[in-house]
Amino acid sequence: MAHSNAGFQPLQYTEYTPEEMLNRARSFYAQHESRRTVREFSDRPVDREIIELIIKTASTAPSGANKQPWNFGVISSPEIKAKIREAAEKEEFENYHGRMSEDWLDDLKKFGTDWHKPFITTAPYIIVAFKKAYDLNAAGEKEKNYYVTESAGLACGMLISAIHNAGLVTVTHTPSPMNFLSEVLGRPANERAFLLLPVGYPAEDAQVPVIERKGLGAVSSWYE
């Protein structure tokens, strides 16, 4: 393929034998299949370098025009975690007492969630993923980002895989509305909080709900 732009280089690519491919695909699947969302955390400390590597992994996600329209707020300060928990619980209290429909509350019953969010102060790290609606260049002018929600979602998916791969656990917490996170963390106007993820070890007695994953037949449609 001819490229008008000189900024290209040869792809670094490793090909596996069909057998290696199958083994790799099987073990990657098995590893992902063992992931569970965890809401009960230990306060055991986690090495900062692990968190750095997890975020670097997330940031390898593809994004619209490679704009990488995300920023991860990483909170270990007990004072800031306490502020975030207080504000999140205030919103969640309202959600569970009138803002969420009866059907919605019913759908959540099996997860045992309520407005209390102790994991925000127990987990050693809280990661708040922000999506960047636009960027500001050096002159302070707005520069467009593309497929911002999709891009941030992809990065968060890879973040979750990296957390699991490292042997840590998380929950994708979505306090709503989330604008308090921008205020508490002093984020600029072009960023919107997207997800809040506590990261750490599970509590020793952590329990998870009994759930099932849909089978291949239910999640895929094949045209052969």
212-216 long-range Cβ contacts below 8 angstroms, 24+ apart: 213/33
Q: Which residues contact ligand IYR by CB under 6 A?
A: 92, 95, 108, 111, 113, 173-176
Q: How far is the CB of 53 from ligand IYR (least distance, A)?
A: 27
Q: How far is the CB of 199 from ligand IYR (least distance, A)?
A: 16
Q: How far is the CB of 124 from ligand IYR (least distance, A)?
A: 20
CB of 24 or CB of 110, closer to ligand IYR: 110
CB of 68 or CB of 119, closer to ligand IYR: 119
Q: How far is the CB of 108 from ligand IYR (least distance, A)?
A: 5
Concatenated DSSP letters of the chain: ---SSS-----------HHHHHHHHHHHHHHHHT------B------HHHHHHHHHHHTTS--GGG---EEEEEE--HHHHHHHHHHHHHHHHHIIIIIS-HHHHHHHGGGT--S--THHHHSSEEEEEEEESEEE-TTS-EEE-SSHHHHHHHHHHHHHHHHHHTT-B---B--SS-HHHHHHHT--TTEEEEEEEEEBPBPTT-------PPPHHHH-----
Q: How far is the CB of 99 from ligand IYR (least distance, A)?
A: 10
CB of 175 or CB of 200, closer to ligand IYR: 175
CB of 21 or CB of 108, closer to ligand IYR: 108
CB of 54 or CB of 195, closer to ligand IYR: 195
CB of 42 or CB of 113, closer to ligand IYR: 113
- CB count in 10 Å sphere of residue 171: 22
Q: How far is the CB of 211 from ligand IYR (least distance, A)?
A: 11
